[in-house]
Amino acid sequence: MTMAATVKHALRRVLTSGLTRRSSVVLTGLCVGLALQLPGAVVAQPARPFVFGTPSSPSSPLGKWMRQVYTEALRRMGMQIEVVEAPLKRLALMTQNGSIDGEFSRTPAYAAEHPEMVKVETSLLSAVFSFYAVRPMPELGSVEAVLRGQQQVIYHRGVVGCEKLLQGRLPAERLNVVTSTAHGLEMLRLGRAQLFCEVSSEMFNERLSHSMSEHKQLYKLFDAAPPVPLNAYVLAKHADFAVRLGTTLKQMKAEGLVDRYLREALQ
């Protein structure tokens, strides 16, 4: 006997003999079972959170700030957020394979190399690509001077601005790559490299995440280019979401909420 026939039979019994407590329970169960078998019946599932990636830990000032800003923005949009922490290069691979939906903070140079991503128009901060060392080097005031020199140079993998400045322009024996800002600073401290190209926002975040005495001998030699805006980027299939998020972030900035969250994170 099919589920529909079973329910029909149960209804006939109820109508002819009256609805007892037991028959009511049985009938309710049968009706639920029938509903689940009906064509097109869908069991409601909770909405999947939107997954953002970032290299910044939740305990770091910028990591805490960005999580707070985007969590509030998505709350206003009626959505849940999930944040994945990973190195920049791995995050790029994760967006390409669809493991995450977007990233909190990337430069325009990143977008030029990743057409599968679209920009969230509202920028929260700006950054610049700079060269750092553990001692002053007044003779090095430009990228051209670095290229002519003999120093060992490192850069943070995934920081596209530094990659473009150095890859293919320095001999391979003079150029190395690190997977994090902390790794780069450690190589400088140990003398395994003399110059470190990094985006200022990551350096700022790293220095605030530790005691200043750890990096008291760190010097910024020069900025390699003018400041650039940092924006969130999401997969192109989420283009409508990007527009809505940009509008929401713009409203939050106008309210002074973004700046307030930053002050709280820096405390």
CB 245 within 8 A of CB 69: no
Contacts with 267 (C-beta within 8 Å, 6 or more apart), sequence order: none
Q: How much is the pLDDT for 216?
A: 59
Does the fold of domain 129-223 match that of domain 50-126+229-266? Answer: yes
| Segments making up each domain of the chain, as ranges | 3-37, 50-126+229-266, 129-223
153: pLDDT strictly greater than 90: yes
244: pLDDT strictly greater than 60: yes
How confident is residue 176, by pLDDT bands cut at 50, 70 and 90?
very high
Q: What is the pLDDT of residues 107-139, one digit of tens each?
A: 888 878 888 999 999 999 998 999 999 999 999
Among 165, 160, 126, CA closest to 147: 165
Q: Which CATH class is domain 50-126+229-266?
A: alpha beta
226: pLDDT strictly greater than 70: yes
Lowest mean pLDDT among 18-27, 67-76, 95-104: 18-27
Helices (H), the chain: 3-17, 21-37, 61-76, 88-96, 108-113, 143-148, 160-166, 181-190, 200-209, 239-254, 257-266
Average pLDDT over residues 17-34: 44
User: Domain 129-223 carries which CATH code?
Assistant: 3.40.190.10
* Ramachandran class of 183: left when φ > 0, alpha when ψ lies in -120 to 50, beta otherwise: alpha
